[in-house]
């Protein structure tokens, strides 16, 4: 047991893949890759940098002496300079040209974008796999009638598959936003201390074309296609807001899903996966609490609220830059990704093992069907010459009495027998019984679901290379 605080997102919830993306190891290796890309590009454009210096840097990309870096940082109070010096000690021949013309944001900001890009790609994979699991669930249950709810009060029936299609639709909207944001990520490039590229212009003796070519070469070497055309010292902090807004949107969709599962679990219509050895309560041994859905809700609240941080950071930047973004961004951006990584892993796990109880659904339907079919009864009797307003009032009075009997005496719903004994209604018992078939009251739910799932299938086919992902739920 550790004697210091550990982030629960890492210890309990998020995957190793996402943790590595935002790890120090990945960050500092990427810094060195950026320094290498800068040096190679400068050499290609005519600066006096030797092949030996380049090869020395390549050989030491992954060989980071963290003790030396920590010592330098304690002396300089500057993480980038600490790693410049550490890299320089490992590369004595290349030391004079490492970080040539660059500012800290060259490695810091470009690395941030590269990390966010890798993390968004990982989230997209999780999102597509979540959609696939829900697609299977919705297809399997597209014709299964169940009671629908508005305000969590009984409403007209739907099907379980149609309900699941609502979850999928939210995630498809999130996928669209993710893909748009991912496609529009750009590097900061190499623009110097205030975004004017003055240092690089000096290195290339005033040759503007070479300065522009340098930025293009670096961008291509780092795997992206574009840079922001103008900047201060940093890339626009609004981009962090857009990225975390995508994550917030996914969290919102997951939160809605988890709330629905929790409500349906209370109704005993579904169960999320529950291990044979799992304990629901330390006191109440019979309980099967939906803890995975509750965990989604808990993490989703954090991610949703966290999206406010980059909004405040972006709006609070001073002129060409200020450093009050640094500590905040070190925490909020990685944790938003770690949170959504955990959330989507839980959604995949829950949906893959979600158990449905059709008999309980049928029971709930039959308890409410007498109320639900009153509109059909009303229309039927009006067609036979009844007064719509008068019959509506009679139904209202009978319904209130039936509800009173159910709530105050715990009796069965007797609304149908009340209507049949009321001479104002010209309708037979057989006619009402035919109306009480749940399959005939779900409208186009099954058809809508089938039509919608055909669209979902197209999305899955487009992203088929991302499917087949395994997730590991730790606790």
DSSP string, 288-335: ---HHHHHHHHHHHHHHHHTHHHHHHHHT--TT--GGGHHHHHHHHHH
- Rounded to 5°, angle at Cα 207 from 204 and 210: 75
Neighbouring C-beta atoms of residue 401, cutoff 10 Å: 13
- Distance, in Å, from the CA atom of 198 to the CA atom of 217, rounded to the nearest integer, reads 18
DSSP 3-state of 232: coil
Among the listed residues 117, 158, 137, 391, the one whose alpha carbon sits nearest the alpha carbon of residue 242: 117
Give CA–CA dist 342/348, Å, rounded.
10
380 belongs to the catalytic site: no
**151 catalytic, yes or no?**
yes
β-strand pairing of 270-271 with 158-159: unpaired
Vertex 173: Cα angle to 182 and 185 (nearest 5): 10
Closest CA to 250 of 367, 135, 120: 120
The single residue of 4, 74, 151, 282 carrying the catalytic annotation is: 151
Nearest by Cα to 54 from 41, 73, 71, 66: 41
Directed axis angle between helix 308-315 and helix 326-352, to 10°? Answer: 160
Sign, CA dihedral 112-117-118-123, equals positive
Give every CB contact of residue 413 below 8 A, 6+ residues apart in sequence: 367, 368, 370, 371, 402, 406
- Burial readout 448-458 (b: 16 or more C-beta within 10 A, e: otherwise): bbbebbeebee
d(CA 167, CA 293): 14
Q: Which residue has the tokens 């890009």?
A: 117
**HSE-up of residue 11 (Cα within 13 Å, Cβ side):** 7
Catalytic residue among 281, 326, 421, 434: 281
Please identify every residue annotated as catalytic: 151, 281
């Amino acid at each position: 047991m550790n004697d210091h605080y550990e982030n629960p997102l890492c210890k309990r919830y998020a995957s190793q893949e996402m943790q590595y993306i935002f790890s120090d190891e990945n960050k500092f290796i990427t810094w060195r890759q950026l320094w290498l890309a800068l040096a190679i590009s400068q050499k290609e454009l005519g600066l006096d940098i030797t092949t030996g210096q380049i090869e020395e840097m390549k050989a030491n990309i992954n060989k980071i002496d963290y003790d030396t870096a920590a010592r330098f940082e304690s002396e300089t109070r500057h993480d980038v300079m600490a790693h410049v010096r550490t890299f320089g000690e490992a590369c004595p021949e290349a030391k004079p040209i490492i970080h040539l013309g660059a500012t800290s944001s060259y490695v810091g900001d470009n690395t941030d974008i590269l990390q966010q890009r890798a993390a968004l790609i990982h989230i997209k994979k999780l999102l597509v796999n979540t959609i696939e699991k829900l697609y299977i669930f919705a297809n399997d249950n597209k014709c299964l009638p169940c009671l629908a709810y508005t305000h969590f009060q009984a409403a007209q029936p739907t099907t379980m598959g149609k309900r699941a299609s609502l979850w999928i639709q939210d995630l498809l909207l999130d996928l669209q936003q993710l893909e748009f944001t991912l496609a529009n990520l750009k590097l900061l490039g190499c623009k110097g201390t205030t975004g004017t590229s003055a240092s690089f212009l000096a290195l290339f003796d005033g040759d503007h074309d070479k300065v522009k070519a340098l930025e293009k070469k670096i961008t291509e070497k780092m795997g992206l296609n574009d840079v922001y055309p103008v900047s201060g010292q940093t890339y626009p902090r609004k981009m962090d807001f857009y990225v975390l807004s995508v994550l917030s949107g996914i969290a919102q969709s997951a939160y809605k899903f988890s709330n629905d599962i929790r409500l349906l679990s209370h109704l005993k219509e579904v169960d999320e996966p529950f291990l044979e050895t799992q304990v629901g309560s330390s006191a109440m041994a019979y309980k099967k609490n939906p803890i995975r859905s509750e965990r989604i809700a808990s993490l989703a609240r954090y991610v949703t609220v966290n999206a406010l941080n980059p909004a405040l950071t972006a709006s609070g930047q001073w002129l060409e830059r200020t450093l009050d973004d640094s500590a905040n961004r070190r925490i909020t951006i990685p944790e938003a990704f770690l949170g959504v990584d955990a959330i989507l892993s839980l959604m995949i796990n829950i949906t893959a093992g979600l158990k449905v109880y059709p008999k309980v659904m049928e029971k709930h339907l039959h308890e409410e069907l007498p109320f639900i079919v009153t509109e059909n009864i009303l229309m039927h009797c009006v067609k036979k010459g009844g007064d719509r307003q008068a019959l509506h009032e009679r139904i209202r009075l009978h319904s209130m009495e039936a509800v009173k009997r159910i709530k105050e005496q715990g009796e069965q719903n007797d609304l149908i027998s009340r209507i049949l004994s009321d001479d104002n209604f010209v309708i037979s018992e057989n006619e009402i019984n035919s109306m009480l078939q749940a399959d005939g009251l779900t409208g186009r739910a099954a058809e809508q679901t089938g039509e919608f799932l055909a669209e979902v299938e197209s999305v899955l086919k487009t992203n088929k290379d991302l499917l087949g992902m395994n997730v590991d739920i730790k606790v």
